[in-house]
A and B are shown apart, each in its own frame.
Chain A
């Protein structure tokens, strides 16, 4: 009961803060998001919106991913890895408490990871925990994790929202009342509208500058624009309508920061079906795609062209956009050589995102120039998952793969675009047990080269992370190495 009263009071304080006159120093921020999270437990769902609200704000993991994508200590102060790469020993921070007042110790880590890898687990990234053989509590501040095989990206993976530490007492109610260890506490959820957080005064680290934050869900791009312009929102870290960015750039009230994301946007081709099983057809399609026109038309110039499935800001990135440059004649010749001198008909199933729908319309127009008649079929995400992702019932589709360093999907058995190349699988196998950064980068380059040369998919562009916020609001992430809106360092400039 006291909890409710407390939350209510906090809500009132927040509301008062939000409606305070503009000249008073603001200590709260209202952040716009496109989608509302279905619930608030990052360990029980794939929705990016969950992480975008609670990751690093409410929940923390043993490691955390920093603004530049590097792995930093989180609830683990330090760690050591055995020479065979199979045993990780984490030294936990002292004096950490959950928001409900219960203490954090090694038992919580063991509980969280055992829960995530249990049979009845509903963790969307269960594969993170798949190499784990055992989690052992050495003492309250030390945890030892033994793996069944070396896992090159284990520390990075533990920084995902799906691997945050939860308490046994609150694990089952985190969906609606999340209890973590982070710098912000969950305060209130106005369903369909917003989630309110308040500062955790008992935080183990440097307390947050903001006394509270509201995540407001504004799905419609036009409404987002109006809400930003009207000052209803202080920030929109991932603004959905790039066409409006010039308008914000011209307005001194706003700061526009276009950063990098992990979203490789691809025109996925069903490699297991004719005619896309034919390398020449895929090459022809790659030659027929004018990436700059797509970026200009669909993204209003924001976005980096890519030539393979790899993020341009990563150290191992190679610019492969020249592998199959825009050349219609070449494309027609290749198509004729493949036995389709007059082109063919194909369907394109487009999920309900603006970038996919717009790119799809442009690509359909471009492919018609080499005789490929495209029928556009818009689908909802549920249908996309069912038909395209699971059922493999598609010719082409456009989707952005937003997970970091996910080139390994090309090695997965029976993945939706159906690429099957044992040589590539071998590269990924080596990669997964390789921990040396240099060797890993070399392998990443080999992987990029191979899928680019095979023209597995049409590689379009890296999705920009276009952030718009009040020019006085500082400390938001410009890039999105992981799906998060980390508010730890956010503050208002005087």
Chain B
């Protein structure tokens, strides 16, 4: 187990290191200069040069890379070019929107998907199964931004139940904050719920065909009790894997939804930072997002290895 752990940990660090190089290199070839963008069309060349010096953009690439990596190791992500504040604080602010949003979407999708998936599997090949799978098919096919637009017009503009978008901020009270997150969370959750329901159903179907379920049934345990006590719990392993991946996806994958609902989250931060050539924000945030995914994967692998020792020997 220890060898496995060390090997996987080594892989994790290597992946992250490669990621930092890739991100930095890509941003180096990105056309556009942050300083001239900030000063606009009337700026004089010496003004731009002065700002470049102030931002440290005149240093050689290697020095900037090493400075950035070194800083990140001690938790210093640098100073944003455009906002002139520490990047870490900027990211933390935005994470206070994206993380709760992702979490809400995840909870919603789980709350929808687990019962529906279970229902479909237990009623395999009968009408509840067909109905649930039909909805799941449509759910997967709906673009979440389109769904978001429709939600805004129905619930915010026409019915005026919730704000049309924006984020009230947590100090406006949790109720107001959650109200501004509910529509985007629904828009995000729908396709995820559809995927999750399908995974739940097929995982449960697999388990229901296992011998021990037949044994349990043969011992006279009622069907629903069997499903609950033995099947659902075992089926949750693949479901949890998907959930882990979805959470990582949701944190970064909300750019479009954050645009529809003009939420100040991480997705929009990175989108704007690219447009403004706030490279230090882009590179730090990208690496952070990559790290999130890699670490979630690592934890999932660990969980698997803990459950199933055979997996420790294979590559994956």
* Chain A residues engaging chain B, CB cutoff 8 angstroms: 11-12, 15, 19, 36, 38-39, 45-47, 119-127, 175-176, 190-194, 216-220, 222-223, 226-227, 229-232, 352, 380-383, 385-387, 389-390, 403
Given contact pairs A46-B42, A191-B83, A382-B37, A216 touches B166 in the complex (Cβ within 8 A): yes
Residue of B38, B50, B262 touching A121 (CB-CB under 8 A): B50
Residue of A12, A125, A217, A385 touching B37 (CB-CB under 8 A): A385
A-B pairs, 5 with minimum CB distance: A46-B40, A192-B264, A382-B32, A226-B164, A38-B82
Q: Could you say which residues of chain A place their CB within 8 Å of the CB of B191?
A: none
Map CB proximity to A onto B34-55 as digits: 1 under 8 Å, 0 otherwise. Answer: 1011111111101100110110
CB nearest neighbor in A for B180? A232
Q: Could you say which residues of chain B place their CB within 8 Å of the CB of A382?
A: 31-34, 37, 275-277
Distance A322 CA – B200 CA, assembled complex (angstroms): 70
Q: Could you say which residues of chain A place their CB within 8 Å of the CB of B51?
A: 122
Name the distance in Å between B101's Cβ and chain A's nearest Cβ. Answer: 13
Write 5 A-B pairs (CB below 8 A) sorted by A numbering. Answer: A38-B84, A38-B276, A46-B41, A382-B275, A385-B33
Is the beta-carbon distance between B38 and A380 smaller than 8 angstroms? no
CB nearest neighbor in A for B82? A38
Distance A385 CA – B41 CA, assembled complex (angstroms): 8
Check if B64 is an interface residue, CB within 8 A of chain A: no
Is the beta-carbon distance between B169 and A193 smaller than 8 angstroms? yes
Check if B167 is an interface residue, CB within 8 A of chain A: yes
Q: Could you say which residues of chain A place their CB within 8 Å of the CB of B50?
A: 119-122
Map CB proximity to A onto B243-274 as digits: 1 under 8 Å, 0 otherwise. Answer: 00000000000000001111011001100100
Is the beta-carbon distance between B41 and A232 smaller than 8 angstroms? no
Distance A45 CA – B276 CA, assembled complex (angstroms): 13
Q: Could you say which residues of chain A place their CB within 8 Å of the CB of B43?
A: 46, 124, 126
Is the beta-carbon distance between B32 and A38 smaller than 8 angstroms? no
Check if B94 is an interface residue, CB within 8 A of chain A: yes
Check if B163 is an interface residue, CB within 8 A of chain A: yes
Name the distance in Å between A30's Cβ and chain B's nearest Cβ. Answer: 10
Distance A397 CA – B166 CA, assembled complex (angstroms): 33
Is the beta-carbon distance between A218 and B32 smaller than 8 angstroms? no
Name the distance in Å between A379's Cβ and chain B's nearest Cβ. Answer: 9
Is the beta-carbon distance between A223 and B262 smaller than 8 angstroms? yes
Is the beta-carbon distance between A403 and B42 smaller than 8 angstroms? yes
CB nearest neighbor in B for A399? B41
Residue of A124, A193, A230 touching B40 (CB-CB under 8 A): A124
Name the distance in Å between A194's Cβ and chain B's nearest Cβ. Answer: 8
Is the beta-carbon distance between B275 and A380 smaller than 8 angstroms? yes
Given contact pairs A190-B264, A193-B166, A193-B264, A45 touches B157 in the complex (Cβ within 8 A): no
CB proximity to A under 8 Å, residues B164-192: 164-167, 169, 171-173, 176
CB proximity to A under 8 Å, residues B108-166: 149, 152-153, 156-157, 160, 163-166
Given contact pairs A19-B172, A383-B31, A230 touches B163 in the complex (Cβ within 8 A): yes
Residue of A38, A46, A191, A390 touching B93 (CB-CB under 8 A): A191
Distance A231 CA – B167 CA, assembled complex (angstroms): 14
Residue of A45, A352, A386 touching B31 (CB-CB under 8 A): A386
Distance A407 CA – B37 CA, assembled complex (angstroms): 22
Distance A131 CA – B167 CA, assembled complex (angstroms): 46
Distance A192 CA – B267 CA, assembled complex (angstroms): 11
Check if B240 is an interface residue, CB within 8 A of chain A: no
Q: Of B165, B166, B272, B277, which is in contact with the most chain A CB atoms at under 10 Å from its CB?
A: B166
Name the distance in Å between A197's Cβ and chain B's nearest Cβ. Answer: 16
CB nearest neighbor in A for B84? A175
Distance A490 CA – B267 CA, assembled complex (angstroms): 35
Is the beta-carbon distance between B94 and A192 smaller than 8 angstroms? yes
Distance A250 CA – B275 CA, assembled complex (angstroms): 36
Q: Could you say which residues of chain B place their CB within 8 Å of the CB of A12?
A: 171
Residue of A38, A175, A218, A386 touching B36 (CB-CB under 8 A): A386
Is the beta-carbon distance between B83 and A39 smaller than 8 angstroms? yes
Distance A358 CA – B156 CA, assembled complex (angstroms): 28
Distance A123 CA – B262 CA, assembled complex (angstroms): 31
Q: Could you say which residues of chain B place their CB within 8 Å of the CB of A119?
A: 46, 50
Distance A371 CA – B277 CA, assembled complex (angstroms): 38
Q: Could you say which residues of chain A place their CB within 8 Å of the CB of B272?
A: 36
Is the beta-carbon distance between B163 and A220 smaller than 8 angstroms? no
Residue of A15, A38, A231, A403 touching B38 (CB-CB under 8 A): A38
Check if B90 is an interface residue, CB within 8 A of chain A: yes
Residue of B34, B84, B268 touching A192 (CB-CB under 8 A): B268
Residue of A45, A127, A220, A385 touching B260 (CB-CB under 8 A): A220
Name the distance in Å between B13's Cβ and chain A's nearest Cβ. Answer: 31
Q: Could you say which residues of chain B place their CB within 8 Å of the CB of A223?
A: 152, 164-166, 259-262
Check if B311 is an interface residue, CB within 8 A of chain A: no
Known contacts A125-B42, A192-B94; 12 further A-B pairs (Cβ under 8 A): A120-B50, A124-B39, A126-B47, A192-B167, A192-B265, A193-B167, A220-B262, A222-B260, A230-B156, A230-B160, A385-B32, A385-B36
Distance A390 CA – B40 CA, assembled complex (angstroms): 11
Q: Could you say which residues of chain A place their CB within 8 Å of the CB of B93?
A: 190-192
Is the beta-carbon distance between B277 and A227 smaller than 8 angstroms? no
Is the beta-carbon distance between B38 and A45 smaller than 8 angstroms? yes
Check if B225 is an interface residue, CB within 8 A of chain A: no
Distance A39 CA – B54 CA, assembled complex (angstroms): 15
Distance A39 CA – B171 CA, assembled complex (angstroms): 22
